[in-house]
Chain A
């Protein structure tokens, strides 16, 4: 069974008095432990698709199944619980909480979402900060970090709850070339180590180059699918 199955999903918005179809009849299957990329021009529906997979939004039609569970019609509380246990997010703008230190940002989902005991929390956080190379900055606040460092913290925060899927919307868009490669390598290593599925929405060719499965989306439809070996080889 695939980790993620999307069945005939459609999503429409009403802007003013005009209905806009963001996604039209999307079907796809994604296996566990894959590096998947949605590519396409701006407004093609990549972010909308990520939002549906992340239970942040509901489809107008069709189903989103994660591990066989239909998550497309969960209520607000259930979808929050589901996200907290199964999905990690990495954002283009890092979205770290400015009042918390690096350590506390990574700790946040363990305290506020999963209620993990303090000792267990500490072990997990320190391990992940070590892996993303942010151990020395653990007591710094986000405004004291570079863009690359912020994204490393965001990766640690996304992985600390051991989610099945990490959704990353343009994770390298605000990073320079070298930093973007380093971030991608970290995510790749994490994927290999934890078996987490990474799904990207991106324009970035560096990200696309790392993907094992690439879906090309245009005007709300999947118009192409490419499967490759990891690292684009």
Chain B
């Protein structure tokens, strides 16, 4: 085998310029896949991180039908106290769950006594919320950003949009007016304890308040809530954990329609960014397909030329008694070597580019989010890319190699 590889390697460098040209094409393709994959995944992970760590949590539990009406923030689709206790008991026993935060989400009108606007409010216990969305307090740029106390009873955090629009600052007093599930309207005065950065999309008008205040404002006496946001220990096991919870949580599977009937959604179901994430994944796949095409066509081209140019030589080695299988191996080894070493070089180049990007950490803005690209070296992506090139190189070399192996020696020797 070593001798076959030695001959294959030397044959490759008979036509140095052609080999280097083909190799550079593959190097470029592999580097492109790795860099694009690294940047794409870094971008995706960055945004998913912001969304889940600042706002959504990894998954959320609601009363059945809530997500379908989520734009209206309905207060009649709540999880009653008894159901909430059962859910909490199940979540507490599940080792995959890191923490969870009970929430009430509702719409309200905020007034500074001169003007008013509508906003969305999420009522939370700040300590729990900070465990599920650890980046949320960091997004409070003005005011109290202590994870355990960023909202206290009697205070609210408002988004930058509203603060700017209504010329509000921390310490100012505002009135919140909300309608509860029975349809009665109530108003309460709050002090602004913090102003948060805007997060992607409609969350641009999201504010936070303490859970106890929501109970008072909405006149909730039974301790019911609209959702539970959950943080899991291992994000890569999100789907598995969600599946487990769907089986474990009472009523989710719909076994008993008269019991609390819950639904569980991952961040992907709740954020429009999941479509962008899917597009990024699709684009990475497209780049891979381009790589496969580059490798397939370039190796096929080189190997076909190689066989055609060396018909006389094939006749010679066949006449010396080289078995057809070994002739096949000689040409396969040539294509494989070209593919493998080019892919390896592409892998090194791609890794180098990503390493430089990881050091530079280029910043850019996506929507309302400030993102910093710090791509990880995707070892999986590198191994997959090299494996793809090796497999495609073998396939592309197969037809020319078979042609060489099947050549009649007498015909080949006649070829000039």
Binding site for B on A (CB under 8 A): 51, 54, 56-57, 76-77, 80-85, 87, 89, 91, 95, 97-100, 108-109, 111-114, 157, 161
Is B319 on the interface with A (CB-CB < 8 A)? yes
Binding site for A on B (CB under 8 A): 3-4, 7, 10-11, 14, 312-313, 315-324, 326, 408-410, 413
A111 lies within 8 A of B316 (CB) = no
Q: Other CB < 8 Å A-B pairs besides A80-B322, A84-B321, 5 of them?
A: A80-B323, A97-B316, A98-B313, A111-B3, A112-B320
Q: Can you identify 30 A-B contacts, CB atoms within 8 angstroms?
A: A51-B410, A54-B319, A56-B319, A56-B409, A57-B408, A57-B410, A76-B324, A80-B321, A80-B324, A83-B320, A84-B320, A85-B321, A89-B316, A91-B413, A95-B315, A98-B14, A98-B313, A99-B7, A99-B11, A99-B14, A109-B320, A109-B321, A112-B3, A112-B4, A112-B320, A112-B322, A112-B326, A113-B320, A157-B320, A161-B321
Question: How long is the Cα–Cα vector from A5 to B215 in the complex, in angstroms?
Answer: 110
In the assembled complex, which residues on chain A have CB atoms less than 8 Å from the CB atom of B3? 111-112
A91 lies within 8 A of B410 (CB) = no
Which residue from chain A places its CB closest to the CB of B413 in the assembled complex? Answer: A56
B10 lies within 8 A of A108 (CB) = no
Q: How far is the CB of A10 from chain B (nearest CB, A)?
A: 16
Q: How far is the CB of B49 from chain A (nearest CB, A)?
A: 54
B316 lies within 8 A of A95 (CB) = yes
Closest 10 CB pairs of A and B: A84-B321, A99-B10, A113-B321, A95-B316, A83-B321, A56-B410, A57-B410, A56-B409, A109-B320, A89-B319
Q: Is the interface of B mostly helix, strand, loop or mixed?
A: helix
Q: How far is the CB of B331 from chain A (nearest CB, A)?
A: 13
In the assembled complex, which residues on chain B have CB atoms less than 8 Å from the CB atom of A95? 312-313, 315-316, 413
Question: How long is the Cα–Cα vector from A53 to B48 in the complex, in angstroms?
Answer: 75
B317 lies within 8 A of A97 (CB) = yes
Q: How far is the CB of B338 from chain A (nearest CB, A)?
A: 15
Q: How far is the CB of B388 from chain A (nearest CB, A)?
A: 29
In the assembled complex, which residues on chain A have CB atoms less than 8 Å from the CB atom of B321? 80-85, 87, 109, 113-114, 161
Question: How long is the Cα–Cα vector from A199 to B7 in the complex, in angstroms?
Answer: 31
Question: How long is the Cα–Cα vector from A201 to B248 in the complex, in angstroms?
Answer: 88
Question: How long is the Cα–Cα vector from A99 to B4 in the complex, in angstroms?
Answer: 12
Question: How long is the Cα–Cα vector from A108 to B408 in the complex, in angstroms?
Answer: 20
In the assembled complex, which residues on chain B have CB atoms less than 8 Å from the CB atom of A80? 318, 321-324
A112 lies within 8 A of B324 (CB) = no
Question: How long is the Cα–Cα vector from A109 to B323 in the complex, in angstroms?
Answer: 11
Question: How long is the Cα–Cα vector from A95 to B320 in the complex, in angstroms?
Answer: 11
B319 lies within 8 A of A83 (CB) = yes
Q: How far is the CB of B178 from chain A (nearest CB, A)?
A: 83
Q: How far is the CB of B323 from chain A (nearest CB, A)?
A: 5
Question: How long is the Cα–Cα vector from A91 to B409 in the complex, in angstroms?
Answer: 13
In the assembled complex, which residues on chain A have CB atoms less than 8 Å from the CB atom of B323? 77, 80-81, 113
Q: How far is the CB of B117 from chain A (nearest CB, A)?
A: 79
A97 lies within 8 A of B322 (CB) = no
In the assembled complex, which residues on chain B have CB atoms less than 8 Å from the CB atom of A54? 319
Q: How far is the CB of B145 from chain A (nearest CB, A)?
A: 70
In the assembled complex, which residues on chain B have CB atoms less than 8 Å from the CB atom of A91? 316, 413
Which residue from chain B places its CB closest to the CB of A107 in the assembled complex? Answer: B3
Q: How far is the CB of A15 from chain B (nearest CB, A)?
A: 13
Question: How long is the Cα–Cα vector from A104 to B134 in the complex, in angstroms?
Answer: 68
Q: How far is the CB of A72 from chain B (nearest CB, A)?
A: 14
Question: How long is the Cα–Cα vector from A45 to B352 in the complex, in angstroms?
Answer: 63
Question: How long is the Cα–Cα vector from A94 to B56 in the complex, in angstroms?
Answer: 77
Which residue from chain A places its CB closest to the CB of B326 in the assembled complex? Answer: A112
Q: How far is the CB of A103 from chain B (nearest CB, A)?
A: 13
In the assembled complex, which residues on chain B have CB atoms less than 8 Å from the CB atom of A56? 319, 409-410, 413
Question: How long is the Cα–Cα vector from A85 to B409 in the complex, in angstroms?
Answer: 16
A97 lies within 8 A of B410 (CB) = no
Question: How long is the Cα–Cα vector from A204 to B221 in the complex, in angstroms?
Answer: 117
B7 lies within 8 A of A100 (CB) = yes
Which residue from chain A places its CB closest to the CB of B416 in the assembled complex? Answer: A93
In the assembled complex, which residues on chain B have CB atoms less than 8 Å from the CB atom of A112? 3-4, 317, 320, 322, 326
In the assembled complex, which residues on chain A have CB atoms less than 8 Å from the CB atom of B326? 112
A89 lies within 8 A of B320 (CB) = yes
